[in-house]
Chains A and B, each alone.
Chain A
Amino acid sequence: MAGLYKKYSEQGFHIIGLEAQGTPAADIQTFAKSKGITYQCTVGGELAGAVVEGIPHTYLLGPDGTLAGENMMGKVLEDKIKVLLLESSVVYLGEGPYKKLAPLAAAIKNGQNLGQALKVLATKKDGKDAEEAAEAKLMYDAIHGAAKETFDSAVAEKDSNPLGAIARFDKLVVRYSGDEIATNAKKESDTLKKDPKVKKEMEADEMWKKVELFNNQMKAFQGQRDPKSEGFRKINAQTIQILIGGCTQLIQRYPGTAAAANADELMSAYK
């Protein structure tokens, strides 16, 4: 995790370590130094709604503040972070610095609609105040460029990952409402959602999300969630049975979908 932080922190990725064993600050500092941890670690603190059966237990929150993943590890976690960072305000705003447009930059960081921001910037970049116009052009290009990159990447994955493409298009629709890019994104999203094959993938994915969330609720055994561990299987015996039942139903109902492949892989790990 320390490596992920170093790699992505300048792009808007943060890690908050909530020490859950009541360790004094001085001991946390010593431990962090020995492990090369430079991200923020606090004594205590909490995430409301978190159900932590064992540690470590992680929650990934997206730029919109909502839950994007739980207990993700390795490549799955890094890939998800990369996708989420495309939506980060750091990407939207570019490098700046912004002086005259600092209030607008702050508003965008707090979630102001980017379609509206682009309208304001389009006017300001042609204004008489040269300093403000330069800042407006810089910000406009950054925001518009980030949107175009997200749109293009969604178009590119329409065939290979239609659900991922729909998710990206729908986020553009919300964040850029009022701008042409939102209109185009909505058209693309609506077209994909009408495709019977994609509809089936969407239904299967809904069921998979429930299976995945259920899987995340497994109790850790000695800090680990290893499906092959006898101790882990013993304390989660009933949960594993239900999970396998869910996976079986998903595979039977939605054969050939990406969600069915995920369920098959998960079930194999527990069988």
Chain B
Amino acid sequence: MRLSLVAFVLCALAATANAASVSLAGLKLGKTAVGPDLQQKDLKGKCTLVVYWGTH
């Protein structure tokens, strides 16, 4: 099925807007349960993988 360029661009722009707003500045850390107790400032200049996960 072929959809219009307009539909794709609108949807793509919406997706871009969501992702573009994500940055280290917006990272708020909860209470550390495992591993090092780093704060947001400690991650500046580093490469960070933020993982939303669950135990079940």
**A50 and B52 contact, CB distance less than 8 A:** yes
Residue in A25, A42, A89 whose Cβ sees the most chain B Cβ within 10 Å: A42
Chain B interface size band reads 35 or more
**B54 and A20 contact, CB distance less than 8 A:** yes
**B19 and A13 contact, CB distance less than 8 A:** no
Interface size counted on chain A using CB atoms at 8 A: 78
Cβ proximity bits A232-244 to B, threshold 8 Å, 1 near / 0 not: 0000000101101
Does A59 sit at the interface, judged by CB under 8 A?
yes
In the assembled complex, the Cα of A18 lies from the Cα of B52 at a distance in Å of: 5
**Residues of B contacting A32 in the complex (Cβ-Cβ under 8 angstroms):** 33-35
A-B contact count (CB 8 A): 228
**Interface residue from B3, B16, B34, B47 paired with A213 (Cβ < 8 Å):** B16
**Interface residue from A18, A81, A249 paired with B30 (Cβ < 8 Å):** A18
In the assembled complex, the Cα of A45 lies from the Cα of B26 at a distance in Å of: 10
**Residues of B contacting A211 in the complex (Cβ-Cβ under 8 angstroms):** 12
What is the interface of chain A, defined by CB distance below 8 A to chain B? 1, 4, 8, 12-21, 23, 25, 27-29, 31-32, 37-52, 55-63, 65-68, 70, 77, 81, 84-85, 87-90, 92, 108-111, 209-211, 213-214, 216-217, 239, 241-242, 244-246, 248-249
